[in-house]
Each structure stands twice: as structure tokens, then as C-alpha cells.
Structure 1
Amino acid sequence: MGRPLQDAILTGLYDQSYPGHELLGPKLLKNNKNDKIWLTLRQELLTCKSFTWAVAFVTQDMLVPFKVVMADLANKNVSGTLITGDYLGFNDPKVFHELKKIPNLTVKIAQDNGFHAKGYLFKHAGYDTIVIGSANFTRAALLSNYEWSLKVSSKENAALTEQIGKQLSDLKHNSIRLTDAWLRDYESNWVRPVQNKVVKKNISQEIIPNQMQKAALKELNALVAAGQKRGLVVSATGTGKTYLGAFAVKDFKPKKFLYVVHREQIAKKSLESFYKVIGGSRTNYGLLTGHNHDFNHKYLFATVQTISQPDMLATLSKDEFDYILIDEAHRAAAPSYQRILNYFKPKFWLGMTATPERMDDQDVYKIFDYNLAYEIRLRDALEDKMLAPFHYVGVQDYETNGQSIDETTNLRYLVSDERVNYVLKELDYYGYCGEKPRGLVFCSRQEEAHELAQAFTNRNHPAIALTNKDNEKKRSEVVKQLEQGKIEYIVTVDLFNEGVDIPSLNQIVMLRNTQSSIVFIQQLGRGLRKYPGKDYVTVIDFIGNYKNNYLIPIALNQDTSRDQDKARKESTLPSFIGVSTINFSKIASEKILASLDQVKLDGLRQLRKSYQDLKEKIGRPPLLFDFYHYGSTSPEVFANNHSLAHYGKFLIKMGEPLHLSKYEDGVLSFVTKELLNGKRPHELILLKLLLKNKHVSETEFEKALKNYGAYVNGAVLNSVEDILSLNFFDIKQGKTTKKAQYGGQPLIEPINLLDYQLNPELSKALETNADFKKLFIDVINTGLALNKKYNNQKQFTLYQQYDRKDVCRLLNWPKDVSAPMYGYRVDKDETPIFITYKKDSTKKRSALYHNTLENGRSLRWYTRTPRHLSSNEVQRLLNTPDMKIHLFVKKSDAIGKQFFYLGQAVIQKDTVKEELLGPKKKAAVGMNLLLKHPLDMQMYELLFDE
């Protein structure tokens, strides 16, 4: 450890030219969109032998993700000490109660007056890491606040470590252990600190639209102004869509207004909300329900069951209302709603829903003329702080004798004493915000719901089961008991997926298989309404051996991309939505990854479903750019599908009448397979210029590249010509060449040495075939949109993924030599190296090369065999001045052909050594490759963490 640590300290504190590394070098920690102070603390926890923290302030809202890590550490017999205190009475007594639940954590109470420290010490093998700065152990400090903390690693006998060690030793000595007696005394004397909030005088009681509502109103008013008759607003539960409806009606100023909903209770609440916004006489507001028939009121709030009755409709004229709002509009395909929609003729229909996607395949968007006025989904609402944050924890379900819960598990096992005890233990460990639990438990069967409720109650956690067999009156009574604290849990199957508000919920418990992302989000959303004193919701998901486990991270991250690599990353790393956190225990993560390996997210059946969903949403066959624009399936998934030459082929499979010649097929295949990914914009920019102008000079092309922000040099200009002339692809592939598959003819032709023009056959196709032109332009526009995530000032973007062919192209090589390249290719002055870090099989040839991340600093890498120090290839690699070594790494072969770019590396010359590898003792040259760019913490965990 000596030299790596020494170089890391030197690069951080003395001179950046030393080959330091992120994991060891000094670093300023702060919170931003892509990084959080918590991520560093978490990684240090996961890799340390023990830890000691001295932190004055701790809040309960950060303890859930901490407990997930501590549970994993307990399985490795790793423990630590937290020294905190009672300074200013900041720490809520509940914090100490929750800390006591962590078995591998010793909590000590500092006795020093004014204890206000914020330091985190981690003991590793041979070195220590300390994080000191402004960040207390609070959610705000570790996830969102503007904080500075310095991370420094040093040997155990270093002066700094010694000083800190002595301070902590003295602090420990002068601190007392957290005991029940101390906590009782603290609790009895504790007074909640007064928050210093600026109180603004409320000059007016008028309710005004929030940011989301203002944007939605602008779009709705534009629809009305354009003469449209219908519009749909998609708004996550709890984001104020009822008030939005009231603002929209207030702007419209109808002579008579109708609000339709499926429950009388909601109709009454909505009436009150509209009155607060619109005002006027109370006599203007009436109900049309089973108990009230207020026909003559200006603003009428009706239940669908009442107003859809034929005799009721007969009492009202077709143009009775000039504005009608359908709440929970995803129900609008039902016969009762259809009777209303077919009878009345208002000037405008407004539909509002949190979940327009229907599992019964009813086209909600069509009902509202595909006029999606505004959409705010769960992720947006959380980031805009409209909802209560959540801490999601995916834990392993109960397991005995190696057997875990799955879809076929017997009911007797689901409600066994052992499983119930395990579940309650986990619920207690991860806790809840508030004085007592108010939880909603989703299970898989009605019998299970009743037996679990009884089992919870028998263990002093009062619970009642509710199923679809219970009437509305009983449901209301049970919800009331939960809100009043008379019971702790409601156990149900799918009854509470939508339409039920229990704002005080502080725990959501998933004890069932995830059948659909839609239902998962509906159930999660039950607990996210804001409520006084509710800082967060704890969501505990018990993950068994379910085939659909892969849906969990996809649903939580609202990831509709169908990108397998992205889903794998979401299953492995913690993620954040605002200050909400998504955490999986190590075993739960492994179960999800195992499920993901068994499913094909991007199969034709799945793509067909995505296509139909988006077509339903926009009212026409979607193009690739539509998938990008609406955040649906990633366009690259279509491009990477081996059974589809291009998107036009997919449209034909979907029954769309397209007519393409063999040549047009080849061209579309080329632009889709080679350019759509947007990894370099140069070819796309030139093609876009040539669509507008018959001739484009090299000077005009260079100017366009510079205006776009892309790098320009002679090599890349030559490479663009090699690509668009298809010469790059003139490589034998079986009985033909890739060039032949791509139409065989250049897309561009040089008029002279400095000008470009399109191939005449391509020009003719664009002029005469509207289908071809539409698809061709679509690829160009989508490719440029996808390019936004890349740094166009450089050939490669750090931490983006590339395959070997991408690298050949971006290194400006004249031919695609990816097929015979294998692990690397030593060129004149640039060498790409591809490393698969974790070998899937010891039988594979590549498994001979034991690539290791040496001391978290450099990769041990080997040439192919047989190679010697004297080999020409090795000599060129070692002795070419200014040789650029580009390092590409993937964790295993299971993740496909794409490698993450980790930047340039340098060879540590004193580690170069000829070695004999494998059972046949073949010669290879091994060397350490030191990364020039510090390795990002998440990338380290994704690629190298075991």
C-alpha cells in the first residue's frame, strides 16, 4: 500500500502529475446531481474493516439507507462506533431509539461541552481514511445541502492519522455508552428546538398556482384557444391536480360546469377545493350523488354512478354544461363513463389522471383526442418537492434451508410464525417517521391478507385485512382506525392501488411479487402525500425468488428505456430521486440481477408493447425521435436488435404500409446501425447539411462542426469520408461485406477535393420516396438528440460505453478491424485496451489473464500470448513517445459488447514483467496501467466492487 498511497497523497497535495487515484487521494466532497457525500461514506463503509464517527447531529431521515449498509456489514462481521451527543437538543430522542436497533453499531454520548464535531474515520487494511468538514449525518447534509468535506487517506503511523486517532481515543474515553437509562432521562427533558423560519405575512388568502400548475394551465389554455375540444393532464398523486382543475375552470369561466368522479367522498372534497380557488357564493356549488340532486347549481360535482343513469341523463340537456372534467380519467373507457361522454356536448372536456397506462389495454389518450396537455410523473413531483420523500429498501424475503419465497410458495409457509417474526423484525429495524407505524401491507392472496393481519395483531401490532369483498363503509371505517392510531397496519392485496388517500401513511410494505411497473408505482404512491410531521416514508420490499424481480428497479427509477445495461446499473447501485433514496441489500440486488439475466427487455414482443403504448399516447405511428422525446424505449434498443435491420422493418412488422427498395433498406440499415447511437455527431451533421444544400464545402462543414461544439481536425474529416463512403466497412463478413449490406454505394461523393454532395441514387430516393425520407431524417434527428450526452470536444466521453467497432471509428482508423482486435491493438500513437474484469469461466482463454485492480489504483494487464519483452508489438507499446493508451472496461461478458471508457492510462514501467500464464505456461507481458483520471466512486463500485 505504501507507494500507491504516497502517490495519491502527492497528486492531491503536491503535484497532479503523480499517478494518484480517486479511492486514496485527497478529495473535496460535495453534493451535486451526479454525486453525493453519502456515496463516499457508503463506499468507505462497504470496504472498511471498522469505523469510528464523531458526528454532533444525526437525523432519522438518513438512518434508513445507513441501516441497509450496516445490515450487509453485519453479515461480514464488520462493526463501528458512532459518537454523538445532546448539543442544543438537536438530536431527536427517536434517533437514539433507532440507532440502538443496529446490532453492529456502538453508540457513545460525548460529554464535552459544545460537542459539534463532524468527522468520519474508516480503518482499512494498511491505511486509514478520514472525512472531515461541514456535513453532519443528516439527509440534507449528505444528499442536498451545499456542504464541503475533505476526504484524506494516510498510513496508520502518519502524523495526521495519529492526531485524529488520539482525538478520537480521548473522545471515546470521555464519552459514555448510550443506555436505556440515559435515553429515558434525555427523553424526559428534551424540548424540540425552535426552527428559525422566516415568517411571511399572508396578505391575501387567495390560493395561487404552483410551478407545475402554471405550466399545465398555459398548455390547457393554448388547447382551448386552438379550438380543441378535449385535453388530458397526467399528474402524479399528491401533486395538486384537483386545484389545477379548479384553476383551469376559473380561467375558462363556464356558464355551467360538471365534475365527474367515481366516489362521493372525493366529489365532496373536490367541491371544497374548487370553492377555495374560485370563490363566489356557496349556493353556486352543488352535488349530484345518491343523496343529493342539486341540478341548478353552477358548479356541479357528480358521481359517475348517479349521473350515468339513463333517467338522470334524460333530465339534463346535451349542452347543459360547457366544461366537463373527468377525474381519474383512466376509468373513462368504462361503459358508465362512455354514456356520459357520448351524451353531453360541452365546449371542452378535461381528463385528469395519475396513471393513464391501463392494464386492460383501453386507449385513454384516444378518448381525449391525443391532446396530452401536461404530464408530471412521480419522479418529477419528487424532485420538485411536491410529495413526501421516500426511502426504499429492497431486502431478502424470509428463507430457510436455502428455500426462499417464490410465485408457487404454499400459503402455510407465507403465514408461518417464522416468516411473520422475520417480517416484523425487519419492519422494526427499518422503522418509520412518526410516533407509531401507520402502514399499508400489500400481499399476494386474500387468505394471506387475513391470516397476516391476525398474526400481526397477535404480536401486538394491530392490523386489519381489507379485500375487494369488503364494502365501502368498512373500508372507510378501517382507514379511519389507521389514521386515529387504533391499528398499525392495513393488510390488502390490490385494493389500495388508486383512489384512496391516507396522507399519514409512513410505511409501505411489499410482501408480494411485482407483476407490473404500473401497479408498483400506484402502490408506492399511496404513501407519498405530504402530512404534518411526515419527513419521509419507509418502503420495505421483501424480495423472493420471483421471475419479475427485474421490474423493481425499473419501476422505481421510472425507466422505460428497455436498456439492459441501464437496468443492471439500477439494480446494483443506490440511486436518488431528489432526497428520496433507493437501496438494495446485497442479497436482494443479486436476486434482481439473476431475474434480469433471465429476461429479454428488448425482445420484439416487448418492443411491440412499447410501440403500441406510445402510438396510443400520440395518436399516430411513432418514429424513433418520439421514443426519445417521450422518454420511452431507448431508440438505441431498436438499433441494437439483431433481428431488425432498421426501424422501418419494425414498422412493417407492426402492419404499417411502407415501401422501400433494396437500396433504401441498405441505407437505412447503415444510418441506423452505425450513426443513430450519436457517439460522434460529425457524419450526422454533414448529412443534415446535405439534406438542405445540394453541395457543401469542406469549409462550410468545418464551420457547422465548430458551431455545434464538435472537435475538428484533418484526421476526423478523413474518417467521416471513410464512413460515409462505406470504405470503412469494406471488410469481408462471411460471403459478403458489411459495405454490401449497407447498399454498396457511398452516401456522399466528393465533387472535387473540398466539396461534398449526396450520391445521385440517394438523392433520387429522398426526392421520390416519402417513407424513406421520413425514416432517414428521423435517424439523423434522433442521433443528434442522443449525442447530447457525449463530450464533442473529445473522441471519447468518460464513463460512456463503446464497443470495439465504435472505437475503431472514433480513433479515425480507415477500416473496421474490430473483429480480429480481441483485447487490444497497438497502432502508431494510440492503443485501445479492452478489459473484461471478471471472467465468467476459468475454461475460457481470456480467463488466463487475471486482471486485478491493484490497490484501487491501477489495473494489472497482460498482452496476448505468446509475447515477449522483445516482441515488436510490446516494444512499440512501451517505447513509442506520447503513446495514448485508452482504457475500456466491462465487469463481465454477461453485459454484452459494450465497455465503459475509463480515460487514458499510463504504463508503470517498473511493473512491466514477462510472465508464463496458464497450464501450458505461455509467455505474456504483464504491466500496471495507471488511470490518468480519478475513478468515479459509482463507476468503481459498478465495475470493480466484489
Structure 2
Amino acid sequence: MDNLLEDFNQSLYKGFIDRTISHKGNFMPKLLINNKDENVLSTIINELYKCKSFTISVAFITESGLASLKSHLYDLNQKGVRGKIITSNYLGFNTPKMYKELLKLKNVDVRLTDVNGFHAKCYIFEHERYASMIVGSSNLTSNALKINYEHNILLSTQKNGDLIYNIKAQFDELWNKSIPLSDAWIRDYQLIYDEQAVKNTLYITKEQSVIQNNIEQAVKIEPNIMQKEALQSLAKLRKNGKNKSLIISATGTGKTILCALDVRNYNPNKFLFIVHNEGILQRSIEEFKKVLPFSKDEDFGLLTGKHKESHAKYLFATIQTLSKSDIYNQFGQNHFDYIVYDEAHRSAAKSYQKVFNYFTPDFVLGMTATPERTDNLNIFEIFDYNIAYEIRLQKALESKILCPFHYFGVTEYIHNGKPVDDFSSLTDLTSDERVRHVLEKTQYYGYSGEELKGLIFVSRKDEAKELADKLTLHNLPSVSLTGEDNSEKRQQAIEQLKSGEINYIVTVNLFNEGIDITPVNQIVMLRETESSIIFIQQLGRGLRKSENKEYVTVIDFIGNYKKNYLIPIALSGDQSQNKDNYRKFLTSNTALMGVSTINFEEVAKKKIYDSLKQVKLSAASHIKQAYNEVEQRIGRMPLLMDFIRQNSIDPSVIYSKDSSYKNYNDFLVKSKKIEEQLNKNENLNLTFLSREIAPGLKNIDHTILNAIIDRPYKINELLTIAQNLDPNVTLEDVQTTLKILDYSFFSDTINKTYGKPIITISNDEVTLTKSFAASLEKPLFKIYLEDIIELAQYNNKTYQKNQNRLLLYNKYTRKDFVKLLNWKSDESGVINGYKFGNNTLPIFITYHKEDNISDNTKYEDEFLSPDELKWFTKSNRKLDSPEVQKILAHQNNNVDMYIFVKKEDVLDGNEFYFLGKAHYLEGTAEQSKMPNENNDNIVTMTLSMETPVKDEIYRYILDT
């Protein structure tokens, strides 16, 4: 029987007749809903990636919903894949601007139906030998694709199936009766749409408008989620006797309102608000007045170069004025009860420190979006390490505090088929060709709202001016701003952008902080990412909510830059320095909660992968920087778990095999953070604990070790302890753990690497060895051990879901496998591609081989589909070889076959994705020849995956 037909039969049988069968097939009917692990959008993107053509029939489309597909449609256009969309103007929901966005899609034909009550939601994808469709409740809107509670069914069918035939026939009939979308149609629709908008506005009376304004005013001063939690934390800190505190909050999350709410709760006699920018002071006073509506105008005063209203109850001062000795000496040191330092990361500067050291208020609050500094000045120390609350970009988006965004990583200008990444001269930076490329991308990805209000970040001052001039010539009035421009010119440009007099402000890192241009609806990054902090600061310039926009478009031009790896670090907020985390982030379509999306054109994504390959994130410099940042935050020597708690480096990076350090003590000593206090065996034992226990592969490992520290145990007692934690634990699992702890699991030479064993077993009783017990008498060693056990608990809960077994799509080494499957000893070093052991047959595949490997090992293993794998045995094997016969009979002999695959050695190291169990497909084994000079014999066969490989993993592995 044809494999495709067999796959359909199995899928349909499981989907409609018997859900308990083990083989799912690749075409399982599937219910699509929106949750944290999967959403309708991710399924649509996965189907688009695989299809040869597509048709979409939906009543409602929003600009934001369309934006979430634009980069994927662009990539399809590059591959020559076309599609069709049918929509309508039903209920006047679709905006004229959205229709204009549809016309930008070069590979999509769009038609409009006038069917009365058109309310269809159907997505059809034509593949090589089959078709798939999504039918249900989701229109092409961001909420329907990512947020709303939706019910959709994903179905697949062979091309001659009756269902797909009828659906396509219905679509074609509707298509033939519909009219093509055109500029002329949009102009006519605009008149009707505007007329209806005016009518809708007239329904609101003047009295209703006043009521509405009052309601909106009340809503503005209602604490959001972040503010409520932060206010509670501030009150708790003060109750515990703390008089200084720091709030870390992403730009646009309402720090000033939060501050005003806390001041209202505190009710000081005299209050001082300090910042570096007079424009911020004016806006801050406005915010305070909203929160303190019963205060008189004369209660609020300015202390600046032009204003000296020092008598005010609520005084708002610029640091430039306040830091002058003749100014701050006018006040008594305890004149103010409550002082706020906005943009507190500046407070280590000399001007701030003069003020900070002079005044002695009852309470001091610092507020900042980016406390990390590059000048070794410690903001956390200034505020006594009291972090009241911290909310970064990802949490703010999830809490719907910020305006959503659609990020697009796009390719830099390509000249004569080659990327032009080295823009060393102004001529290259602002050439007509590059400007046209920039305009093409910015116009394609567009913006939300009726008027373009954009910020462009460039790398040079002369580039900013030249680019602004050229954009103006292209009917996009633009102004350049650099650090050489005074505050008056900056403010004038901002007002011009807000009013619509200009479309762009082009700048060089000038607006990284402290500037509030709420209507900004497009951010363009035309420079290399040098810092994840600056990246987020610049992106944040557009994230304040505004009536003129539904979302912000962020367009990042990505060239062959060495620091491209910083992009996923910045967007994910993940400082772990774990390459696999960043790989997952780049391939995930559910990376951000809410309607925000992160999209990369395929060429741009490859540039980031290339950057990740080249950078060594376990380099000593990265580790030392992470250590210093955490130490600054907590005011003491960090332990491994402190790196986790402070959202810093993954501790395993410190003592990985690619690192310069064997364990954390080794790092501390070599970095001169502490003097050596451990002997040689203790250091070796610490390496064992770090590499074998800390990863948390099995929760019984650290549980049993933790138990034995207190007293000796019988093996059956340890089994009871382990089963209380996980009822599925077997005696074999416990025995493997004990073999690991007494080193009998490893080779005879393991003592050179790990020192003396941790435990000894005698008469079925397990105790600590004398050497390990003696080590625990040292306070530092005991601290290290307790820290590692806590880290193991965290890792097991986070990555293994408190399990002691293989989890689908987790990454594992060969050694991890033999531990989890309870092999009698560590044979991971001789498994290579595959090996029988303990009734298991693990197969390890490197999908993309390096060019420099031997021809004898260049096996051309290949996925034929997400549930079928063409696999090669080792060389010098024939069909009648005993080993091959054993493989072919693995099911009859009850030997489970496990498939592990990694994309390539450089990016994945020695870890492989576990893709599930598989079995040999009868009749597919063939004898063949290796592509080497000896033409060695080899056997190929097709393996059937029990579970089809998840789309994003499958796509990542196959992409070159």
C-alpha cells in the first residue's frame, strides 16, 4: 500500500474511530485553540511553510492579523508560492487601510464577494501530494489567531478526497463571482466607510461625551496589575524598616503613575521628584495631578533653570539645577519626606550623588527601565539592594500594559545578488539603492493607524542627516537629530512628528531613554545591535499605548553582523547564554504572549543562526560579566541559584565542557573572587555534582543524595522515598542512581575526573563515604552542595516536569539516555550512531554533517516526512548481517527504538532532540553503497515515527 494512503488511513482511524491506537500518522484531525503552547497562528504558519499554494476565505481581516503573516508571505513569494484571499466588506468591519495592505502582497490575489452575510473562516493549503484545511471560528485577526477562545479543526485529505473537492469547488465558484480588489474599489469604499463613521459619532451626545471623559479619567488612575503588586511591595518594605527602594519597570508601564499612587498612600509633607529632562518634568506633573486631583495647582512647582518654585509641596526638579550647591543648600537636609529619582540608572553620576548624599528623607524611591550599567557603578547598592518590583518587556506585554508590536527581522540591502553588510562609507549607507531597499521594506511591513509616525535609528550622525534628506525627497518628510542638537530643536522635531508635519525622526541613539513620543507607530533599526539593553530601549520608544495605533511595527535590518546573537537575547529577555534557548525562541510561533509577534525573513534568521554558531557564550568574559551583574544586584557573592533568580546566565554554562571552568568554585578561584579553600578531591567531587547532579535529569538523583546526607538508608527505604516523589520510579531507577553516586556506573578511570565516590553500599545499606562526609564539615563545601541540590530541583521541575523519563522534544546527550533507560553502565562513549542495550535501541543522528568529516561517516539520513525517516546503518553492513537482522526484528523482540536528532554539531553540541519512538517499516530495507572511495556496503531502511515530528522542530532540523 502507498505509504501516504496508509498514513491517512491510520490518522483517520485514530481521529474518528479509536483514539487509543499508538500510531498517530501525520494527518491527524486536530482541534486548534489558543493557549500558551500553541495557537491558531502557529498552525497557519506551519502549513504555509509546507504548502505549494494556499487559499483563504475570511469575512474579517485586521491590519494586525495580516501583519503577523507578512514576513511568511514574503518568504513564500521568494519561493514562487502564490495564494488567494476572498473577503468582503460585511458589517463595515474591514478598514480601507487594511485593504491597501492586502494590495502590497505581491504573491496573493485578493477578491471581494458581495454575498449577503458572508461569514466564512476557511484556510486551505495545497501540498505536494495532499491538502490540508483549517475550518472553524477564526477570522484573520490578531485576537482570533492568538488570544480569543476559538474552535477550529485542522483536517488533511488526499487530493481526490470528496471533502476537499467540494470545499475547493465552493471556493472557486465564489472566486469566479467575486471582484478583484483594486485601488478604485478602495477609494469608493473609503467614502462609504467615512460616512458611516460620522453617523456613528453622532450617536454620542455632548452629555455622553462628558461622562465618557470622566470615566476615562478615572480609568487612568486605576492601578494596573504591575502597579498593584509594586505598591504592595513598597508598603511591605517600609513596614520592614527599609528607607530606600528601586522599581525596575519597562518603558511605558506606568512608572510615574505608580510613583504618584505611592506618594498618595504615603502623603508626605514635602515631596521631591528629580530627573534629567525638563520635558519629563512637565509630563510627570500632569500625571501626578491625575492621581492627586484634590491638590491645588500651587501645590505643584518646578525647580529648573527658568523656574524656582521651591515652596511647593510637590517639587519637580531637574538634576542640572538641583545639583548646584547654592540651590540644594537652600533646603534643609531633611526638608523632604519622600524623594524620587526617575531614570535611576543615572543616579551614580556625580551630579546625582551630590544631591543623593546631601538629603536625608524618610524614603527614597528609584525608578528605571534599565538598571544595568557598563561603567561598573552599582545602582543596586545605592538603593540598598531593595528591589521592590521588577517588570520587564515580556511580562508587561503579557499583562497588556504596553502596546503590542510586530517585530520583523529583515534582510539588509543586497547588491548584485550579494548582501552588502559592510557600510563603511556614507556613500554606501545612504546610496539610492539602499534607500530604495529601506523604503520597500518599511512600506511593505507598514504601520498601524492613518499616519506614519516613525523613528529610525542609524549608526552615524552624517548618515542621519543624509537619510532624512533623501526620505524627504521621497515624499516622507523627515528630520535628523543627533547629540549636537539642543533641547529646543529636539522638542520641535517631536512636536512636528506628533502633528503629522513630518513622518520620520532619524537619530543616532538619541532617544534610547527619557523621551515619550506616544504616537510612534513604526520603529526602524538601521544599525548593528551592539547591546541588548539599547535594543530594548529603542524598541520601547513605540510601546506606549495611543489612540492612533493598534500596534507598533518594528523593522530591524539584519546584516552579517557578529553580534546578531543579541537579537534573540533582547527580544526573549533570556540572559541564560544558552544557545538552545535562543534557537527555540527563533523557531517558536508562540514566543510572546498576547497579540505581539516576532517574525524573521528566512535569510535574516539564517544570519542570526550563523552568529550563534560563531559566538562562544560560555567564554570567560560572558561568565564574569554575568557574575558582576548578579553580584551588583544582590550585594554579595552569588550562588548558582542566584543566577536563576536574577534572570541571568544559565549556571550550567559556567561549568560546561566548553567553559574554562570545571565547577563554580573553580570559576571563583580563577577569577580571584575568593581564595582557594577546597582540596583536590573536594574540587573533583564538586565537578561531579555540577555535571551529573545539577542538571536535574532525574529527580530521584538529588532526592536520594539529599536523604543520605542526613543518615544511612536501606535501599528499599530509598525506593519508598523516591516513589513518594514519583510513583513510577522502579527499583532499577534507584539502583542506577546509586551506581552513579558510588561511581560504579562509570569507567574505572572516573576518579581522575570526579575524585573519590560520594557513597558506599554495604549489606544493602547506603552511607556517605568518609571522604565526602569529611568534606561536608567545611561550611563552604556544604553551601555549594546545598546550592547544587536546589539547582537540580529547579532544573528537574523546569525541564523534566518533575519526571524521571524521556520527554518528547527535550534535548539529551547519549549519557543522559543510558541513565534514564537504566543501562547497567555508562556505554555512551561507544554508542556513536546507535547501539543495543537493556532492550533498547537508541539512534543518534546529526542531520547536517560537517564538510570535514570522513566520507565513511557521511550517512545521508533523511526525513521523508514528519513521521518517516530514511535511515542508514553503519558502513560494512549487509542485509544478512546479524546486526541488521536484529534491527529489522526489533519489534518482534520487544526492543524499543528511540530517535534522537540534532541539526548540526556546531549549534547543538553533544545534545540531541528526542523525537520519540519509531519502528522499522516492513519491506523498506535495501542494501546500498556508501558514497566513499571504497563503496562500502550499507543498509538503508525507512523508520516510522510513533509521533510525527512537531512542525517547528522539523523545520529547524531540515533548514540548511
Task: Using structure 1 for the length normalisation, give the TM-score.
Answer: 0.95
Indicate the residue corresponding to 2:788 in structure 1: 779
Amino acid at match of 1:462: P
Indicate the residue corresponding to 1:324 in structure 2: 339
Indicate the residue corresponding to 1:663 in structure 2: 681
Greater shift in the superposed pair: 309-318 or 790-799:
790-799
Aligned residues: 937
Pick closer, same or farther for the CA change 1:720–1:19 going to 2, 3 Å. Answer: closer
Pick closer, same or farther for the CA change 1:650–1:287 going to 2, 3 Å. Answer: same
- Asked if 1 retains the 8 angstrom alpha-carbon contact of 2:453 and 2:519, the reply is yes
Query: C-alpha separation between the residues in 1 aligned to 2:27 and 2:852?
Result: 31
Give how far 1:143 is off: 1.1
Indicate the residue corresponding to 1:649 in structure 2: 666
Indicate the residue corresponding to 2:532 in structure 1: 517
What is the CA deviation profile of residues 39-61 of structure 1, one whole-angstrom value per residue up to 9, with x for unaligned ones?
A: 12112112211111111111100
The answer on 1:251 being equivalent to 2:251 is: no
Indicate the residue corresponding to 2:704 in structure 1: 686
- Asked if 2 retains the 8 angstrom alpha-carbon contact of 1:21 and 1:857, the reply is no
Amino acid at match of 2:776: L
Indicate the residue corresponding to 2:928 in structure 1: 915
Amino acid at match of 1:739: N
Aligned pairs for 1:430-829 within 5 A: 430-574=445-589, 575-642=591-658, 643-655=660-672, 656-691=674-709, 693-709=710-726, 711-731=728-748, 737-744=749-756, 746-750=757-761, 752-753=763-764, 755-767=765-777, 769-788=778-797, 789-829=799-839
Query: C-alpha separation between the residues in 2 aligned to 1:202 and 1:401?
Result: 58
Amino acid at match of 2:948: P
Greater shift in the superposed pair: 403-412 or 432-441:
403-412
Which of 839, 864, 884 lines up with 1:854 in the alignment? 864
Which of 337, 345, 348 lines up with 2:363 in the alignment? 348
What is the CA deviation profile of residues 747-777 of structure 1, one whole-angstrom value per residue up to 9, with x for unaligned ones?
A: 1223531x4322122112112x111111111
Query: C-alpha separation between the residues in 1 aligned to 2:77 and 2:417?
Result: 19
Indicate the residue corresponding to 2:159 in structure 1: 156
Give how far 1:790 is off: 0.8
Give how far 1:279 is off: 4.3
The answer on 1:223 being equivalent to 2:241 is: no
Which of 10, 34, 56 lines up with 1:7 in the alignment? 10
Amino acid at match of 1:762: F
- Detail structure 1 runs of 4+ shifted over 6 Å in the superposition: 193-201
- Asked if 2 retains the 8 angstrom alpha-carbon contact of 1:550 and 1:596, the reply is yes
Query: C-alpha separation between the residues in 1 aligned to 2:516 and 2:45?
Result: 35
- Asked if 1 retains the 8 angstrom alpha-carbon contact of 2:321 and 2:327, the reply is yes
- Asked if 2 retains the 8 angstrom alpha-carbon contact of 1:842 and 1:848, the reply is no
What is the CA deviation profile of residues 646-667 of structure 1, one whole-angstrom value per residue up to 9, with x for unaligned ones?
A: 1110111222224001111111
Query: C-alpha separation between the residues in 1 aligned to 2:390 and 2:533?
Result: 16
Give how far 1:708 is off: 3.0
Identity of aligned pairs, percent?
Answer: 42
Amino acid at match of 1:613: E
Give how far 1:434 is off: 0.8
Query: C-alpha separation between the residues in 1 aligned to 2:714 and 2:266?
Result: 54
Amino acid at match of 1:538: T
Give how far 1:216 is off: 1.1
- Asked if 1 retains the 8 angstrom alpha-carbon contact of 2:224 and 2:401, the reply is no
Give how far 1:794 is off: 4.9
Give how far 1:720 is off: 0.8
Give how far 1:906 is off: 1.9
Amino acid at match of 2:700: H
SS in 2 for 1:526: helix
Query: C-alpha separation between the residues in 2 aligned to 1:331 and 1:662?
Result: 45
Pick closer, same or farther for the CA change 1:597–1:742 going to 2, 3 Å. Answer: same
The answer on 1:240 being equivalent to 2:243 is: no
Which of 303, 313, 317 lines up with 1:302 in the alignment? 317
- Asked if 2 retains the 8 angstrom alpha-carbon contact of 1:867 and 1:925, the reply is yes
- Asked if 2 retains the 8 angstrom alpha-carbon contact of 1:433 and 1:536, the reply is yes
The answer on 1:54 being equivalent to 2:57 is: yes
What is the CA deviation profile of residues 169-194 of structure 1, one whole-angstrom value per residue up to 9, with x for unaligned ones?
A: 11111111112222222221123597
Query: C-alpha separation between the residues in 2 aligned to 1:271 and 1:101?
Result: 44
Indicate the residue corresponding to 1:116 in structure 2: 119
What is the CA deviation profile of residues 687-712 of structure 1, one whole-angstrom value per residue up to 9, with x for unaligned ones?
A: 22233x22234454334333433631
Indicate the residue corresponding to 2:898 in structure 1: 886
- Asked if 2 retains the 8 angstrom alpha-carbon contact of 1:112 and 1:174, the reply is no
Give how far 1:376 is off: 0.4
Query: C-alpha separation between the residues in 1 aligned to 2:295 and 2:602?
Result: 60
Query: C-alpha separation between the residues in 2 aligned to 1:187 and 1:808?
Result: 66
Query: C-alpha separation between the residues in 2 aligned to 1:884 and 1:792?
Result: 23
Task: Using structure 2 for the length normalisation, give the TM-score.
Answer: 0.94
Query: C-alpha separation between the residues in 1 aligned to 2:773 and 2:267?
Result: 54
Query: C-alpha separation between the residues in 2 aligned to 1:226 and 1:215?
Result: 17
What is the CA deviation profile of residues 219-268 of structure 1, one whole-angstrom value per residue up to 9, with x for unaligned ones?
A: 21222122222111101111111111122222323232211111222222
- Asked if 2 retains the 8 angstrom alpha-carbon contact of 1:382 and 1:578, the reply is yes
Pick closer, same or farther for the CA change 1:276–1:603 going to 2, 3 Å. Answer: same
Give how far 1:534 is off: 1.3
- Asked if 2 retains the 8 angstrom alpha-carbon contact of 1:234 and 1:355, the reply is yes
Pick closer, same or farther for the CA change 1:913–1:109 going to 2, 3 Å. Answer: same
Please provide the CA RMSD for this pair: 2.3
Greater shift in the superposed pair: 838-847 or 451-460:
838-847
Give how far 1:615 is off: 0.7
Indicate the residue corresponding to 2:878 in structure 1: 868
Pick closer, same or farther for the CA change 1:208–1:162 going to 2, 3 Å. Answer: closer
Which of 389, 402, 410 lines up with 2:404 in the alignment? 389
SS in 2 for 1:465: strand
Question: 5+ unaligned residues in a row in structure 2: which ranges?
Answer: none
Amino acid at match of 1:787: N
What is the CA deviation profile of residues 530-581 of structure 1, one whole-angstrom value per residue up to 9, with x for unaligned ones?
A: 0013110000111122222221122111121101222233344443343211
Query: C-alpha separation between the residues in 1 aligned to 2:218 and 2:847?
Result: 62
- Asked if 1 retains the 8 angstrom alpha-carbon contact of 2:693 and 2:702, the reply is yes
SS in 1 for 2:317: strand
